[in-house]
Amino acid sequence: MIRWLLVIVLAASAAGQERVVVGSKSFTESAILGHMLVALAEDAGTDAELKSFPGSSVAFAALRVGEIVAYPEYTGTLKRELLAELGLETDDQLRDALAGIGLAISEPIGFNNTYAIGVTRSTADRFNLQTIGDLASHPDLRLAFSNEFMNRGDGWPGLRDTYDLPNPARGIEHALSYPALAQGQIDATDLYSTDAQIAAMGLAVLEDDRGYFPRYDAVVLYRLDLAETNPAVLASLLRLGGAIDEARMRSYNERAELGGPNDQGRVPPAVVAADAVNELFGLDAEAAPPTLASRVLLRTRQHLVLVGVSMGIAIAVALPLSVLAARSRAFAGPVLGITGILQTIPALALLVLLIGPLGIGAPTAIVALLLYSLLPIVRNTHAGLTGIPGDLVESADAIGLIGFDRLRRVELPLALPTILAGVKIAAVINVGTATLGGFISAGGYGQPIFTGITQNNFALILEGAVPAACLAVLVQVAFDGIERLVVARGLRL
Amino acid sequence: MIELSRIVKRFGSHAALDGVDLSIPAATTTALIGPSGCGKSTLLRVIIGLIEADEGEVTIEGRPLAAWNQRELRQRFGYAIQSGGLFPHLTARQNIELPARAHRCALKAGRIAELAELTHLDPLLLDRFPAELSGGQRQRVALARALVLDPDILLLDEPLGALDPMVRADLQRDLKSLFEELNKTVVLVTHDLAEAAYLAPTDIVLLREGRIAQRGAFAQLRAEPAEPFVTSFIEAQTERVAALVDAAP
């Protein structure tokens, strides 16, 4: 129910705005292709923006609800992961299945970014390795694969069986596997065939002579209704079909991750994409990546919305709940118990649990943050109200202060310092937790942090982490100020 | 006029009040006295309805407590306790005005100044917070607050208990003249026989373990003790009483 409401809200907001929203996953190659889609959409005469998603399943979900109209995807991922339960083999079967859910794919963009197994050139030479099968004769070679590859149906288990590999294998973070290879801590790992590092490190890619890995042809995955709502944009996006071969894509990735021959250091994906569309399609795209200041400003605004809205609702819910809890012991147990349990759910797990009913994006993050902020407020308000000294309670009683009058004139003012302390704790935690919103495309400081992690870009991580830390300190200071303003002077003497 | 009949109040298995009959006439000062735990404070709370008796009946002006409208009842009582019970977030003036706000009564102009004069409270202190006042000053504010709605009955629970002797003597004199001037029904709880004899010379109720041991004027208690406990309670404090009573005008 909530999900459909959200779909309606999203659809309504999408209809209200003229801009076209396309998506990408957060890793370098997808980001470049995403920026290219934006440039192509703008070339059709509309405003366009790019939304970044941490993984295939969230991007796919966003496409299905219409939050985005298209994003770059791989046929192998569609067949083996997103629609795995359908057992699709051919591209035609894939097209039919997609049409059934209102989606379609473009002609292949022109490169196959499949899994591959790589070793260093020196290892290849020393053990005379040419095919994946050659690994079997050297069972002491140490294999380490990305954690996803270790578990995927089309990953290590199938590879081991196909090639009868006796070698032990362990999991490793993908970004760490290149340095581990270079330092000789591992001997072979899984690669994406368009990885910039293959050329940069001079890795040898072992031949998949038994054809184990499926093709991961890059395509533009889009909504069929785009043909009706915005045919010009669709036509422009489809120009990407057949436009980029494997060598070209690898050079783009290299520019973005390591810097090309004529660059000084790495080049932002948006710039790589602009140069690419200008070169490929003769466009005049301006590679104007937003300045650091404007990026931080935008994310600050998004972050403040996440924190502000969730805190506002949390206070509005928690205060009456805790007043009731302070009045009735029977009510206090469940209220404190349930908010306590909510707090014990790890924040990331709570977010993922909420994706089910609520989908991805800012509303989900706000709900999670709000649930997370309840406990400190409820607990402190309850403690503040029940901790009023007995002689004051008795005096209020004897004076004849009852009900709301008593709450307003005596109880809340006396409990205010404790209540504010709870709100302050909740807000400071909230600022930090809101960065996890980057995981579900909710915007805010978490976006650069998560993208930075997937793109091995430390500067990008700092771009989110530093302002988040500053904001937390600011919130703390602001609440100290508020406390001075609203707590009666008599309580501070 | 306050009537208590067969009042029993238990806390767990312990009977704090164990069948108390007491009639307090209007416009007099009655002191409830006894060692700690004798039930004197509990009795005061039962009278004002802060705690409900398990057995027996309280009537105020001939009407059972339960038949009173709570607000109306509270308006007839002024109540002050040992620590003053002042609200720390309100100034002295706001504390004194609070009962009027609770009962939506407008105070006539100059009422606060009048109360300050009556309780010998320096008007300059009215805009201070309780934390900025001395113990004696706080008690004067508490007294002014108890009097603000001009109640018929004043219930004071160890009002001077937390004060040092000099301040205490000062306030005792002020209270005595106040009681005489206002002519209200006053019920005063104290553990100090001297204070009881000074402020309520004709009507002292001595309690022991939830029962009334003896009631009467101080002289009567001393001359005709109803039980040995009365004598021992008096003897323990007599020397100080003599000094105070003799000094009285």
Pairwise CB contact (< 8 Å): A490 & B77: no
The one-letter amino acid code at A429 reads: I
For the four alpha carbons of B170, B176, B178 and B181, in that order, the dihedral sign comes to negative
- CB of A402 within 8 Å of a chain B CB? The answer is yes
Residue A493, pLDDT above cutoff 80: no
State the residue for tokens 């669709």.
A234
Pairwise CB contact (< 8 Å): B48 & A392: no
pLDDT classification of B156: cutoffs 50, 70, 90? very high
pLDDT classification of B248: cutoffs 50, 70, 90? low
Q: Which two tokens stand for residue A33?
A: 């292709």
Q: What is the pLDDT of residue A13?
A: 45
**Nearest C-alpha in B relative to A408:** B102
Residue A262, pLDDT above cutoff 80: no
- CB of B83 within 8 Å of a chain A CB? The answer is yes
B87 → closest Cβ in A397, A400, A410 = A410
H-helix segments, A267-411: 269-281, 292-327, 329-344, 347-358, 362-386, 390-399, 403-406
- CB of A225 within 8 Å of a chain B CB? The answer is no
Q: Are A126 and A261 in contact (CB under 8 A)?
A: no
H/E element holding A474?
helix A458-486
Phi-psi region of B49 (alpha: psi -120 to 50; beta: other; left: phi over 0): left
Which residues of chain A neighbour B159 with C-beta distances below 8 Å? none
Which residue of A393, A399, A407 is the best one to mutate when testing the B interface, meaning the one whose CB has the most B CBs within 10 A?
Answer: A399
Pairwise CB contact (< 8 Å): A400 & B70: yes
Q: Are B32 and B44 in contact (CB under 8 A)?
A: yes
Which residues of chain B neighbour A412 with C-beta distances below 8 Å? none
Which residues of chain B neighbour A388 with C-beta distances below 8 Å? none
Q: How far apart are CA A47 and CA B109, in angstroms?
A: 69
Q: What is the pLDDT of residue A178?
A: 83
Q: How far apart are CA A270 and CA B14, in angstroms?
A: 81
Q: How far apart are CA A417 and CA A407, in angstroms?
A: 15
Q: What is the pLDDT of residue B243?
A: 65
- CB of B225 within 8 Å of a chain A CB? The answer is no
B102 → closest Cβ in A392, A401, A488 = A401
Q: What is the pLDDT of residue B247?
A: 65
Q: Are A63 and A221 in contact (CB under 8 A)?
A: yes
pLDDT classification of A470: cutoffs 50, 70, 90? very high
Q: How far apart are CA A247 and CA B110, in angstroms?
A: 93
Range 87-146 of B in CB contact (< 8 A) with A: 87-91, 98-99, 101-103, 129-132, 145
Average pLDDT over residues A41-51: 91
Q: Are B158 and B82 in contact (CB under 8 A)?
A: yes
Range 33-52 of B in CB contact (< 8 A) with A: 45, 48, 50
Q: How far is B91 from chain A (nearest CA, A)?
A: 7
Cα separations in angstroms, B85 against A28, A404, B81, B190: 68, 20, 6, 17
Pairwise CB contact (< 8 Å): A399 & B81: no
Q: What is the pLDDT of residue B200?
A: 92
Q: What is the pLDDT of residue B241?
A: 59
Pairwise CB contact (< 8 Å): B101 & A490: no
Q: What is the pLDDT of residue A14?
A: 44
Residue A315, pLDDT above cutoff 90: yes
- CB of A410 within 8 Å of a chain B CB? The answer is yes
The per-residue pLDDT for range A66-93, each reduced to its tens digit, is 989 999 999 998 998 899 889 888 999 9
Q: What is the pLDDT of residue B113?
A: 92
- CB of A96 within 8 Å of a chain B CB? The answer is no
Q: How far is A398 from chain B (nearest CA, A)?
A: 6
Q: How far is A396 from chain B (nearest CA, A)?
A: 9
User: How does the average pLDDT of chain A come out, rounded?
Assistant: 88
**Nearest C-alpha in A relative to B130:** A490
Q: Which of A148-152, B159-163, B223-227 has the highest mean pLDDT?
A: B223-227
Phi-psi region of B34 (alpha: psi -120 to 50; beta: other; left: phi over 0): left
Average pLDDT over residues A303-320: 95
Average pLDDT over residues A28-47: 93
Q: What is the pLDDT of residue A289?
A: 61
Q: Which range has the worst mean pLDDT, A215-224, A429-438, B159-168, B183-192?
A: B159-168
- CB of A493 within 8 Å of a chain B CB? The answer is yes
Pairwise CB contact (< 8 Å): B87 & A405: no
Which residue of B41, B89, B133 is the best one to mutate when testing the A interface, meaning the one whose CB has the most A CBs within 10 A?
Answer: B89
The per-residue pLDDT for range B103-148, each reduced to its tens digit, is 888 888 899 999 998 899 999 999 999 999 998 899 999 999 999 9
User: Looking at this predicted complex, what is its ipTM?
Assistant: 0.86
- Nearest by Cα to A338 from A381, A374, A295: A374
Average pLDDT over residues A155-180: 86
Q: Which of A255-264, A400-409, A421-430, B34-43 has the highest mean pLDDT?
A: A421-430
Which residues of chain B neighbour A410 with C-beta distances below 8 Å? 87
The per-residue pLDDT for range A344-355, each reduced to its tens digit, is 888 888 887 887
The per-residue pLDDT for range A266-294, each reduced to its tens digit, is 788 999 999 999 999 988 887 666 678 88
The per-residue pLDDT for range A13-24, each reduced to its tens digit, is 444 446 899 999
